[in-house]
Amino acid sequence: MTKIGIYDDNAEYLKLLTDKTRDYFVSKNEIPNICCFFDAKSLLKNIEKNEFDLLLLDIELNGSEDNGIELAKKINYHHPNCFIIFVSSHTEFFIDVYDANHIYFVIKNDLDTGLNKALSIFTSKKNQSLFGDSLMIKFKNQSTLVPFSKIVYLESLLRKIRFHLADKDLYSYASFDEILLKLNSENFVQCHRSFIVNLRHIDKIIKNEIFMIDGSIVPIGRMFRKQFLEDLFTKANISID
């Protein structure tokens, strides 16, 4: 079931947007799980607890210091698999929205055409990403499909690779070279001869140690430090002490 969050501070328009979104998915023989948000604080609090497949965001957020674009940038970082559609009557934001990853900008006075097109693009991208953004981890007689976003880091242990996820560890017989070819190079970087980290899960770096969001600590190898930091500055916004 597709989980969708919709934010608009106009109650009447929020209902209209929700109804049209639901109608689209019902026409595709799916009943989506839709959460509606009338204020930014509720939206932000809910995002911390839930992972949405799609968010439809108004750009102006009442009750928040951020606008929808700044919020989208945070979501891009912490929930990279969540697709975002901007919905606004303010066409002056056409250029600014490209500061955040999103799949479409729907103009409110062209809702029927724009929303259906945006949702069609989302459906296509979601179907493409079901396996394209995941890795099949095989060990003995078990195979597990794991989204890239769930992998915190990888560790080489003799002939095995340990995949450290937020909630468990998985193992596979493979080499780092094999795994690196399968991973998304934008998010994964080797920082040590025995470790590959997911940049999306880094909290901070102190000296030669990487502190991950889940509390794990990963070493930076001397031979890998220069290239790792270059990749880090290029691909992510991480604080270094």
Q: How confident is the model at residue 128 (pLDDT cuts 50, 70, 90)?
A: low
3-state secondary structure of 149: helix
Give me the DSSP letters along 108-144.
GGGHHHHHHHHHHHHHHHHHHHHHHTEEEEEETTEEE
3-state secondary structure of 77: helix
CATH superfamily ID and name for 3-132:
Response regulator (3.40.50.2300)
Q: C-alpha angle 182/184/190, rounded to 5°?
A: 85
Q: Across the chain, what does the average pLDDT equal?
A: 84
Q: What pLDDT was estimated at residue 99?
A: 76
50 CB neighbour count, 10 Å cutoff = 12
CATH superfamily ID and name for 134-235:
LytTr DNA-binding domain (2.40.50.1020)
CA distance 59 to 174: 45
Q: What pLDDT was estimated at residue 198?
A: 92
The yes-or-no verdict on residue 240 having pLDDT over 60 is no
CB of 153 within 8 A of CB of 196?
A: yes
CA distance 163 to 152: 8
CA distance 70 to 87: 14
Q: What pLDDT was estimated at residue 124?
A: 77
The yes-or-no verdict on residue 152 having pLDDT over 70 is yes
Q: What pLDDT was estimated at residue 69?
A: 82
CA distance 34 to 36: 6
What are the sequence ranges of the domains in the chain? 3-132, 134-235
3-state secondary structure of 217: strand
Higher per-residue confidence, 18 vs 232: 18
The yes-or-no verdict on residue 126 having pLDDT over 80 is no
- In the numeric block, the tokens 């890795």 are attached to 135
- Both structure tokens of 32: 């989506």
Higher per-residue confidence, 123 vs 54: 54
**For 98-115, how does the pLDDT look when each residue is reduced to its tens digit (9 = 90+)?**
778 888 989 888 898 899
3-state secondary structure of 105: strand
Higher per-residue confidence, 184 vs 199: 199
**For 57-67, how does the pLDDT look when each residue is reduced to its tens digit (9 = 90+)?**
988 766 556 67
Higher per-residue confidence, 103 vs 196: 196
Q: How confident is the model at residue 210 (pLDDT cuts 50, 70, 90)?
A: very high
CA distance 196 to 163: 10
CA distance 190 to 241: 20
